[in-house]
Structure 1
């Protein structure tokens, strides 16, 4: 547990439960349970929400960081729930009004983040892996809307972002860098392959207001699926061309049906040739599996990672569980 100043507030030397998560295009969470030992109880009693941050290391390697949201003390243990630094974006608003013309979405996202942290920076950096490759016009009004909501809306129209430690990483939706390979042998308990029909749409309409003054559309009736239409409003979009570009991205990512692979309660084999700290949403894994009727041989995007560990007993030692959710959206699923 670390103070805003950077000083260490307390250290959890006896951990009985640890869980940390990484998510694509959203704020992730972590949870630890600490049994106070020796003189650490007084230090643990000084832990405070938002003032202090939880930092987690795995085998000495830094893997997670973010503000403590809910510390709960009870007899014999302290439970801490925290969120990554994206939680601050959900407590910030635009601090000036600005209108972007035809601008790459990664540049707009960088402005949103830097503007949000400008009045009070808890410590962050923005890493742009490459331009989004999608341009658009956006308008933000001072003190209107939460910066985190604005960033998530932007991520729905041609941009991905993920948070690792103090870094907010921006990358194009078609980022295809792989960090490893998985086969059925790496998932000894099996996996689940799911088609997400709830996200299928063959035609998208994107509006910048509810009057139809700013409107864009893409797609239409599909020879295979028929016609499935979706409508969404994003008041930050400033012109028809930007709305059309957003609609085209939505069609591309939702047609055909997106496919998800979820290890759910299945942990990766300890023998899997995977470096767990490098499992970062937005990057990919090459997956080959034929244990289900839906055979998969594909490079799939990591959209979620969850790592948990519990202390064991004298008869059964604790074990780490690494769960990964992967997805192929739209044209990739074909």
Structure 2
């Protein structure tokens, strides 16, 4: 049975054409993330040795890429965003491949009718990278089965923002290396199981009442010419109405689908398990490279006053390794954040979520 284990990291800096710029032989700190529906980041601290110092002095933001391996397996890569050189160390921050889309705009006018959100996302990504592609691939896990009805105008808005808007209405996406994964928000394939024994430091079960809405209205413009709604008065919570404008929506049907998606994510009160301050046990029955946001973990916990036993979606991952000191050995920490899926939000409002 595969387990999380205690990983060891390695890093390499390359040019955007793939040529090696500098290895990172002596890593004193490594931190990398994966996140759902946004750009993830990574950070390394290197202690230069030999000619490595001169080569690290040539590192430049956006021109060069950071690549990270865990136990020989690639786990993270993306463009370098910031570098700090100081006495005896170099600190580097990077963003994943999605960071480029926050520096791109639509390059042509387009009007989608009832296209699936995944098809629209594919177009946004392809159009964003079309003038200058640093190297990316797209993996479609499945269609969102949510109608799009979107319009984009040349040079208006950042492509990354348009992609995040889609993710609020039925689509999920994440980056794994140079691969952008697109999947429906109700994707529930599991990649492992965690119980209280796998999180010996404990965890936090949190309920986010600020996100609750029993009736959603989504408008394509402030005049209400394009409008969709879903929900109404709830027998348990009463009536809590939410309104949002998404000016890229062009049809009533797409606005209605967007409202249904928001209702699924906010009724009942969203519950999530936060283990960001808790290290997963090395003996936990999960493989760290497979902890990809959008996939799920089966979680069972009885240690808080809010017991939960259900399948929850991975929404964030944080992995760090500390090189330690002369007297204290280094160690790895694997922390995961999970939340109720849209499908699971329909279960009982009492007890487990």
The reply to whether TM is greater than 0.5 is yes
1:222 maps to 2:238: no
Does the Cα contact within 8 Å between 1:256 and 1:330 map onto a contact in 2?
A: no
Q: CA deviation at 1:264?
A: 2.2
1:118 maps to 2:167: no
CA separation of 1:330/1:277 partners in 2, compared to 1, >3 Å: closer, same or farther?
closer
1:47 maps to 2:59: yes
Partner of 1:103: 115
Partner of 1:156: 168
Does the Cα contact within 8 Å between 2:186 and 2:342 map onto a contact in 1?
A: no
Partner of 1:91: 103
Structure 1 SS opposite 2:21: coil
Task: Give distance in 2, aligned partners of 1:23 and 1:133.
Answer: 23
Structure 1 SS opposite 2:120: helix
Q: CA deviation at 1:315?
A: 2.7
After superposition, what is the alpha-carbon deviation per residue over 1:204-250, rounded to whole angstroms, capped at 9, x for unaligned? 11111111111111111111111111111111100111111100111
Partner of 1:30: 42
User: Normalising by the residue count of structure 2, what TM-score does the alignment of the two structures yield?
Assistant: 0.93
Task: Give distance in 1, aligned partners of 2:226 and 2:133.
Answer: 35
After superposition, what is the alpha-carbon deviation per residue over 1:80-101, rounded to whole angstroms, capped at 9, x for unaligned? 0111111100000000000011
Structure 1 SS opposite 2:222: coil
CA separation of 1:329/1:275 partners in 2, compared to 1, >3 Å: closer, same or farther?
closer
1:181 maps to 2:193: yes
Equivalences for 1:310-321 in 2 at 5 Å? 310-321=322-333
Task: Give distance in 2, aligned partners of 1:331 and 1:164.
Answer: 24
Equivalences for 1:1-334 in 2 at 5 Å? 1-329=13-341, 331-333=343-345, 334=347
Tell me how many residue pairs correspond in the alignment: 334
Task: Give distance in 1, aligned partners of 2:316 and 2:92.
Answer: 21
Task: Give distance in 2, aligned partners of 1:259 and 1:243.
Answer: 26
Task: Give distance in 2, aligned partners of 1:176 and 1:265.
Answer: 25
After superposition, what is the alpha-carbon deviation per residue over 1:258-287, rounded to whole angstroms, capped at 9, x for unaligned? 111011211000111211011000000011
After superposition, what is the alpha-carbon deviation per residue over 1:48-74, rounded to whole angstroms, capped at 9, x for unaligned? 000001110001100001110001101
Q: CA deviation at 1:329?
A: 4.2
Task: Give distance in 2, aligned partners of 1:133 and 1:111.
Answer: 16
Structure 2 SS opposite 1:103: coil
Does the Cα contact within 8 Å between 2:108 and 2:154 map onto a contact in 1?
A: yes
Long gaps (5+) in structure 2 = 1-12, 348-353
Structure 1 SS opposite 2:256: helix
Q: CA deviation at 1:191?
A: 0.6
Task: Give distance in 1, aligned partners of 2:148 and 2:162.
Answer: 14
Task: Give distance in 1, aligned partners of 2:303 and 2:19.
Answer: 50
Q: CA deviation at 1:4?
A: 0.8
Structure 2 SS opposite 1:235: coil
Does the Cα contact within 8 Å between 2:105 and 2:159 map onto a contact in 1?
A: yes
After superposition, what is the alpha-carbon deviation per residue over 1:135-172, rounded to whole angstroms, capped at 9, x for unaligned? 12110001100000000000100010010000000001
Which portions of structure 1, spanning 4 or more consecutive aligned residues, are displaced by more than 4 angstroms?
A: none
Task: Give distance in 2, aligned partners of 1:195 and 1:231.
Answer: 21
Q: CA deviation at 1:313?
A: 2.1
Task: Give distance in 2, aligned partners of 1:331 and 1:148.
Answer: 26
User: Normalising by the residue count of structure 1, what TM-score does the alignment of the two structures yield?
Assistant: 0.99
